[in-house]
Structure 1
Amino acid sequence: MGPLEPSKIQTIVGLIAFALTFVVLGRVLLPRIERVLAERHEATEGRLEHAEELQAEARETYAEYRRVLNEAHHEAARIRQEAAEEGAALVAAARAEGLREREELLAAGRATLSVDRELAALELRADVGMLAVELAGRVVGEPLGEFADRQDSVERFFAEH
């Protein structure tokens, strides 16, 4: 091989140095390197995975929040609907009560008017009869009050008409 041919001692020393370097690297340095790489991975990629987990948990929490909020909206709409129905029922009941009271007042007013009308008619008949007898007495020139009382002519007149 010429000038590149190593001596046997150099080869053995080189192999021993290589084995020693290989053992030191394999047993001491490579585990440290792997640990540092794992820590670096955990620091960078692990945080990313942790962030993704937190983000997934946040999405789940948000979905639960939206679900609860939607339920609350539905419950509020149901309560508003019930309140509107109750309000409509109360308005209808108040309207019916008002109409009933109005009808009662109208019936009482009609009854009062009927009684008043009858009383007024009786008073007017008496007054008309008295005035008619007085007028007839003036026309005839004599008082006819006793004649009208004895003959019941005024009552007969009203009974005929």
Structure 2
Amino acid sequence: MNQLIISAATEGAEAANPLVPNLWEMGVVLAGFAVLFFIVVKFVVPMFEKTFAERAEAIEGGIAKAEKAQAEASAALEEYKQQLTDARAEANRIREEARAEGAQILAELKEKAAAESARITAQAHVQIESERQAAVVSLRSEVGTLATTLAGRIVGETLEDDARAARVVDRFLADLESQNAGVAK
């Protein structure tokens, strides 16, 4: 019996060789693989390709948007720099105009001050000259009176005659002025 079991086991072992596949199993596996391959090719791969295309498009769109934003930012920066340069130039121009206007105002004020000073000086000279003339007239009359009185005492006669007194006084003052002019030279 033992032998019978051993011989049956060897027959079954010879019939079921693990290295040789079973045809029915191989057919079922091939049919399942073909159905699975068909489903993957027909439905899954197009969805992957669609998703890949959408992502590539989104990435390219994002890059384009980023490049556009970068270009806009660069343009805005250049515009800002230009405005800043223009503002600085305008500020310099205004500053120079203010300096020129200040210098002009200062010159006008100096000119007005010089004119006012000249006017005041001229007025002072006129006033001094008029006061000098008044003093000369006053001194002439006083000197004349004193000279007439003194001459009358020296001569011994009264020189009350106005015409004669005026001639004596004028002659005395003329002599006095000629002596002063000779000393001044």
TM range (shorter): 0.7 to 0.9
Task: Report the equivalent of 1:150.
Answer: 164
1:21: how far off?
Answer: 2.4
Task: Find out whether 1:69 has 2:72 as its counterpart.
Answer: no
| TM-score, scaled relative to structure 1 | 0.74
- Structure 2: stretches of 5+ with no match in the other structure: 1-16, 177-185
The structure that has the greater radius of gyration is: 2
Task: Find out whether 1:58 has 2:50 as its counterpart.
Answer: no
- Give runs of ≥4 in structure 1 deviating > 6 Å: none
SS of the residue corresponding to residue 145 of structure 1 reads coil
Count of matched residue pairs: 158
SS of the residue corresponding to residue 47 of structure 2 reads helix
1:115 pairs, out of 130, 134, 147, with 130
* AA partner of residue 100 (structure 1): A
Paired with 1:60 and 1:27, the residues of 2 have a C-alpha distance of 49
Task: Report the equivalent of 1:29.
Answer: 44
Tell me how large the CA RMSD over aligned residues is: 3.2
Query: Is residue 148–residue 159 contact of structure 2 (8 Å, CA) maintained in 1?
Result: yes
Query: Is residue 148–residue 168 contact of structure 2 (8 Å, CA) maintained in 1?
Result: no
- Structure 1: stretches of 5+ with no match in the other structure: none
1:94 pairs, out of 86, 105, 109, with 109
Paired with 1:42 and 1:141, the residues of 2 have a C-alpha distance of 143
Task: Report the equivalent of 2:6.
Answer: none
